[in-house]
Structure 1
Amino acid sequence: MMHRRRDIDGLRGLAVLLVMFFHAGWMSGGFVGVDVFCVISGYYMSQTALMSASFSPWTFITRRLQRLLPALLFMVALVCAAMLWWLLPRDRADIAQNGMTALLYFSNLWAHEHAGYFAGQSLAYPFLHTWSLSVEMQFYLLILLLGMARQGWLALCLIGAGSLLASQAGWGMGYYGLTDRLWQFALGGAIAYLPARQLARVPSSLLYAAAVAAIVACGFLYTNANASPSLWSIVPCLAAALIILLPESPTQRVLNTLSPVGLISYSLYLWHWPIIVGATYLFERQITGLSMVLALLVSLLMGVISYAFIEKRLSAVRLIAMNLGVAAALYGISIW
């Protein structure tokens, strides 16, 4: 059983707030929250799959689905029920198709062909943000293969180096691409093999605080030009890795305060964007100011509800059957 760290929950909370504030138009570089999520995911997946003596491929993949799919399925089904019946046929088809790809975990491929993440057209798609969940699930499949082959630290380092080189050579899909982000996951995975740093109180506190400050500064100072696959994305990733490597730092109290947000971060991430998009459709303009504040408060409410009542484990077979049924229905709507 992995020990749950409150400061990493807090780091998740910081990451999801950065993304939400970016989508609200309040932080120009809040997209770095996704980079931080990738490092955290890589760290935990290494511990779960690559460092476990009793690794079971079936258990690994079913637990991932049981953890992620219920809240995603609930969100997609509810948003489609609320929106699809009153949209224009072209919009309805696009949103249904995007919802289907979200449920089948290839919405990053769909987004690459249909919508620029930083373009105004992104406000037309309530499931566009699920591209990151698709990238994460694709990474899980790679981890599954590495776990079955009993490969670990060296494989992660080679994959990470190859990914970074490929992203800088322009061989990947750019912002939405798995190959362009594998090095972020690999970084988190590789540091899981390193012993926790036992530094003196003062240097540990200073390094930890500097890492948190670096992530926040990136959120405020970065622009679209600094987004992945830009090399500037290394800064928030290294900062996240440093935080993870300093579990005993006295300064972790800074992130501990955000741990309640981190606990609901998955559901909060799922709900904030469709609510912003839905409000944009409803008011027929991009929302700002008080309207945006209200949208984020509704997102918080839906995130709490989803965390408390939906993020529960169900039978993997039943989940997959329900998911495929909804995906098939959305495909039917998209071609109707």
Structure 2
Amino acid sequence: MKGTATARRALAHPDLPLTAAAALTALALAETLGPATPARPDTLLGLLALGLGATVPLAFLRSQPLLTAVTVTAAALLTPPTYDRVLLSGLPALAAVLYTVGRRSAGTTTVAFAVPFAGCALAGVPHGTPLLVGAGTALAAGHARRIRAEHDHRAAVDWAHADTALAHATLGERARIARELHDIVAHHISTVSVQAETARYTTPGLPPEGAEKFLAIGGTARLALTEMRRLLGVLRADVPEEAARARAPQPGLDQLLALVDEARATSGGAVRLIVRGPVRPLGPGLELTAYRIVQEALTNARRHAPGAATDVELHYGEDELRLRIRDCGPGGGPLRDGGHGLLGMRERTAVAGGTLHTGPAPAGGFLVEAALPVRRPETP
């Protein structure tokens, strides 16, 4: 890993093209002016010009990639038919510019650079086939790297979009839960205010200091209630339908039978309600949470397993209320996580301090299980 990171930093160095061009130019001079070079001046000058044309432009690879690629490619293609040889010093430069073309350019440009090499190979130009193989490999490698980079970018964008959508959905579900719990909490605060006011007149022998404290408790409760109503107005500002439902009472477990009857009528399948343990009234917040979980689970079953039989089980325990909703549909396919229903269940369960499990049932179908702690009222 450390070696790979070092290599990436070296390849990204801004002076790399200039350094590589200088080194390859020196090799080209040594190759063209060496003892194997023809002694004729015109031949020597032409070969030297092609050698410099195949190496010097590499210095401008990052600023002018296409112009550099055209120049280096032309020099590499003209050398074999003119002098019946290949300049070895120009091959690394050719590979670099063709890889860059495949990496940065569209597919049509990549194919356009491959056509001259294919033509030379088909025409029987000396060394044409090896040049075609090398050029094709460099272009294909650059193009493959481009495709992979585009795929990684799209995947990153998709993940970022999914994370943003999930964050907005989570905030929306929490705001919805807060709107529903407002009426319950407001009722408790109103009760505190009324009890504090009446206690001033109904408590025999209450000293003046005690009356003042009860008065302060009532004032604080009224202030808290006002602030809660103001907060609720903010939460409902972007939800028009909340205005019509603002005064509707929040449902509880006493309305669960009606919910099951409605689900049975709309789904076309059998829906059973099974209750275990001694039924007793629970806190309104807890009953609202349990009702919404059952409601979301039945909606989920009706959407993804229409017509399938569904069992809704409530188990009243000493310290917790357990919910178990199971349908006999196809199970936990990918569509089961497509909406916000499961997200809402998780958020509501977390607010109640419980646990939630959703997924394929052991014997088939989809299963929702929740355990909600029952808080016992404190005794004085």
Q: TM-score range by the shorter chain?
A: under 0.3
Structure number, greater radius of gyration: 2
User: By percentage of residues, which structure has more strand?
Assistant: 2
Higher relative contact order (CA 8 A, sep 6+): 1
Q: TM-score, normalised by structure 1?
A: 0.21
Q: TM-score, normalised by structure 2?
A: 0.20
